[in-house]
Chains A and B, each alone.
Chain A
Amino acid sequence: MANIDIEARKQELLKEGYTEVYTKTKVLTDAVMHYCPGCGHGTTHRLIAEVIDEMGIQDKTVGVSPVGCSVLAYNYFDVDFQEAAHGRAPAVATAVKRLNPECYVFTYQGDGDLAAIGTAETIHAANRGENITMIFVNNGIYGMTGGQMAPTTLVGMRSATTPYGRRVDLNGYPLRMTELLATLPGTYYVTRQSVQNPGAVRKAKAAIRKAFENQKLGKGLSFVEILSNCNSGWKMTPVAANKWMEDNMMPNYPVGDIKVDGKIAEGIDVNRLVLDHPLTVMQ
C-alpha cells in the first residue's frame, strides 16, 4: 500500500483547526531504528531525544553509546556521540564532561554493558560523583548476542545460557545495580522507571528530564534505570513481553525514585538491597 503523504496530511489537519499533540522529535534522525519491533530501546531513545529537544540543548549534548543492541544509538540521535568500548561508557563520559563542562553528557547502556563487563566503570564514575547522566536499559538479558544470562537475569528466568532457568546456587543473585549506586555519596539522583504503558512512559520521561537538568547543579551523578522488554531474547510477542515484565521484572526491580536530591527517597527502605528475589516461572 502506498504511504500517504504525511506532511500534506499534517497541514490539512492544522487547516481544519486541529492542534498537534505529538509528533516525532527532530532530535531523532530519520534513520529507521534497527531494534526489533516493540523493543523498549526505541521508546527510551525517543524520550531522551524529546528531553533534549524540550530543554533546547541539542547543540550542547554529547551521548556515549555502549556495546549491546544500542551500539548504533549514534545513528538515531542528531547530537554529538562517542562510541565506547564495551562497558566503558562512564569512563569516556567522564573525560567528555571534564573537558567540556558546559556540555550535557549522557551514557546509554544495557545491563550486560553497565552491570557486567562495565561494573567497575559504573561504580567508580558514580563514586567519583561525575556530573553526568547515565541511562541504564535493563532487559535482564544480553539481547544483542542472542539472549544469554546477564547479572540482572531473574531467578528462574530462562536464557540461552540458563535454559532451565537461572539458579542461585550456580549463577548467583540478580544484581540490583541501581539500589547499589544509591548507597554511594557520589550519586545525586537515582531512579528506576519503565516504558511499557503510556503512564510509565510519561513518568520515565520526567525522570530523564530531571537527570539532565541536574547537570546544571554539578552535584553528582544522575542515574536512570529503565526496565524494558527484550521480546526477541525472551521469545515472546512484544505485548506479552510487556506484560511479563510487569509480572516478573517489577517485583524484583521495584519502579520509582530511590534517591532524590542526594537523599534516599521517602518511603525507600535501604534494606531493599537485600530483598529476596521472587522465583520467576517462564513458560
Chain B
Amino acid sequence: MAFKGQIIVDTERCKGCGVCVPVCPVKCLELSKEVNGKGYNYTQTVNDKCIGCASCAMVCPDGVISVYKKQI
C-alpha cells in the first residue's frame, strides 16, 4: 500500500531549528533561503516524495507542521 503525503508548514511560526529536516525518510525537507517575519529560515518541501509519515511533525517542538496523506 503506497501513500502520498502533503504537509502544511505554518512558516510564520517555524523557528528554523532544522530538527525536522534530517528525520524525513524521503528527504523532502529543507530550510528556505528566505526568512520569515521573525528572521528564521523556515522549513519547506523541496520535492513531492512526501509519504505522510509525520516524522517531521513528531519532532517539531512548535507543532507548526500539519500532515495529510492519501492512498495511491
- List the interface of chain A (C-beta within 8 A of B): 1, 3-4, 6, 9-10, 13-14, 16-25, 28, 32-33, 35, 37-43, 45-46, 195-198, 201-202, 237-239, 242
Interface set, chain B 22-57, CB cutoff 8 A to A: 22-23, 32, 34, 36, 40, 52-55, 57
B66 touches A196 (CB 8 A): no
B18 touches A6 (CB 8 A): no
Least Cβ distance of B40 to chain A in Å? Answer: 7
A37 touches B40 (CB 8 A): yes
List of A residues within 8 angstroms of B34 by Cβ: 1
A22 touches B57 (CB 8 A): yes
Question: Which secondary structure dominates chain B's binding surface?
Answer: loop
Question: B62's contact among A3, A9, A19, A32, by CB below 8 Å, is which?
Answer: A32
Least Cβ distance of B32 to chain A in Å? Answer: 8
Least Cβ distance of B12 to chain A in Å? Answer: 4
Per CB-CB distance, the 8 closest pairs between chain A and chain B, nearest first, are A42-B61, A38-B17, A24-B63, A37-B17, A37-B15, A18-B68, A23-B66, A198-B58
The CA-CA distance from A42 to B52 in the complex, in Å, is: 22
B13 touches A32 (CB 8 A): yes
A10 touches B8 (CB 8 A): yes
List of B residues within 8 angstroms of A196 by Cβ: 19, 59
The CA-CA distance from A9 to B5 in the complex, in Å, is: 14
Closest to A1 in B: B34
Least Cβ distance of A206 to chain B in Å? Answer: 13
Question: A22's contact among B15, B21, B23, B67, by CB below 8 Å, is which?
Answer: B67
Least Cβ distance of A9 to chain B in Å? Answer: 5
The CA-CA distance from A24 to B32 in the complex, in Å, is: 22
B64 touches A43 (CB 8 A): no
A3 touches B66 (CB 8 A): no
Closest to A17 in B: B70
Least Cβ distance of B29 to chain A in Å? Answer: 12
List of A residues within 8 angstroms of B53 by Cβ: 198
A237 touches B18 (CB 8 A): yes
Closest to B16 in A: A37
The CA-CA distance from A206 to B13 in the complex, in Å, is: 27
**A-B residue pairs in contact (CB < 8 Å), sample of 5:** A13-B8, A13-B68, A21-B57, A33-B62, A45-B61
Question: B61's contact among A4, A38, A197, A239, by CB below 8 Å, is which?
Answer: A38
List of B residues within 8 angstroms of A14 by Cβ: 68
A46 touches B63 (CB 8 A): yes
The CA-CA distance from A48 to B21 in the complex, in Å, is: 23
B68 touches A20 (CB 8 A): yes
List of B residues within 8 angstroms of A6 by Cβ: 8, 10, 66
B19 touches A21 (CB 8 A): no
A238 touches B65 (CB 8 A): no
Least Cβ distance of B23 to chain A in Å? Answer: 6
Question: A21's contact among B13, B15, B68, by CB below 8 Å, is which?
Answer: B68
A22 touches B61 (CB 8 A): no
A238 touches B19 (CB 8 A): yes
The CA-CA distance from A55 to B53 in the complex, in Å, is: 23
